[in-house]
Structure 1
Amino acid sequence: MLELLSADGPDPDHAEAMMLYGRLVGTWDISNRYRSSGGKWRTAAGEWRFGWVLGGRAVQDVLFCPEFHDRFPGTTVRMYDVTTGLWRITWISPKLPSYFAQTGRSDGAGGMIQEGVDSEGTRSRWTFTDVTPASFHWQGFSAPPDGEFELFQEMHATRR
């Protein structure tokens, strides 16, 4: 199954568009902090791996922070939608359990922005900023249906 899932690179028909997230393909060391349900910030080191999948039409990642005893690995699949020019994004973490559906695009400043809702109807906004070949900054924000976005997690990544 994993052999069928994996791809060697982007689909050649859409290679340029695929590089919005394709430039993240590889392994990253992360310093991660997130706000627990009690409002306290916790930190931990982790690993984030990105790879080409599904004929090079999608980028999948796996995020893992072993020091978080109450957090479990999650995976994101980012598929480029050739009809709209947007990215259709799904993140899952089965043990939490948690699920997000988002739409992604360039932020116009060299990064990416993803927005959507989780399984509970909470709005989400995830951003990738300061993206270079060697590092990036990720931030996760959430908001109730009619409320303001608040930071709940951020990661600084360095390519391994």
Structure 2
Amino acid sequence: MLELLSADGPDPDHAEAMMLYGRLVGTWNISNRYLFGDGKWRTAAGEWRFGWALGGRVVQDVLFCPDFHGRFPGTTLRMYDVTTGLWQITWISPKLPSQFSQVGRSDGAGGMIQEGTDSEGRRSRWTFTEVTSDSFRWQGFSAAPDGEFELFQEMHATRR
């Protein structure tokens, strides 16, 4: 199954557009901080791997941060939609369980922004900023339907 899932690179017909997230393909060390339900921030180290999938039309990742007592791996599928020029994004973590559905695009400043909802219907926003070939910053925000976005997670990644 895995050999059918993986791809060697981006779909050649859309290679340029695929590089918005395709530039993240590889393995990253992360420094992660997460706001827990008790209102306290906790930090942990982890690993984030990005790869090409499904004929090079998808960038899939697996995020693993073992030190967050009870936090289990999750995966994101980022599919480039050739009809809209946007990215259809789904993140799942079956063990939690949790799921996010988002739409992604360039933020116009060299990064990416993804917006949508989580499995409980809360609005979500994830951003990739300060993106270079060797590092990036990721932030996760959540909001009540009529509320402002609040930061709940932040990761700094460095390429291995």
**Which consecutive residues of structure 1, in runs of 5 or more, have no partner in the other structure?**
none
Tell me the equivalent position of 1:111: 111
> What does residue range 94-133 of structure 1 map to in structure 2 within 5 Å?
94-133=94-133
Tell me the equivalent position of 1:38: 38
Q: 1:68 offset after TM fit, Å?
A: 1.1
The aligned amino acid for 1:89 is I
Q: 1:58 offset after TM fit, Å?
A: 0.4
Q: Tell me the secondary structure at the aligned position of residue 18 of structure 1.
A: helix
Deviation per CA, 1:100-154, whole angstroms, max 9, x where unpaired?
Answer: 0000000000000000001110000000000000000000000011100000000
**Which consecutive residues of structure 2, in runs of 5 or more, have no partner in the other structure?**
none
Q: Tell me the secondary structure at the aligned position of residue 138 of structure 2.
A: strand
> What does residue range 1-160 of structure 1 map to in structure 2 within 5 Å?
1-160=1-160
The aligned amino acid for 2:123 is R
Structure 2 Cα separation of the partners of residues 118 and 36 of structure 1: 16
Deviation per CA, 1:39-76, whole angstroms, max 9, x where unpaired?
Answer: 10000000000000000000000000111112110000
Deviation per CA, 1:80-114, whole angstroms, max 9, x where unpaired?
Answer: 00000000000000010000000000000000000
The aligned amino acid for 2:4 is L
Structure 2 Cα separation of the partners of residues 101 and 81 of structure 1: 14
The aligned amino acid for 2:135 is S
RMSD: 0.4
Sequence identity percentage:
87
Structure 2 Cα separation of the partners of residues 37 and 62 of structure 1: 24
Q: Tell me the secondary structure at the aligned position of residue 24 of structure 2.
A: coil
TM-score in terms of structure 1 length: 0.99
Structure 2 Cα separation of the partners of residues 65 and 99 of structure 1: 17
Where does structure 1 differ by over 2 angstroms across 4 or more consecutive aligned residues?
Answer: none
What is the number of residues matched between the two proteins?
160
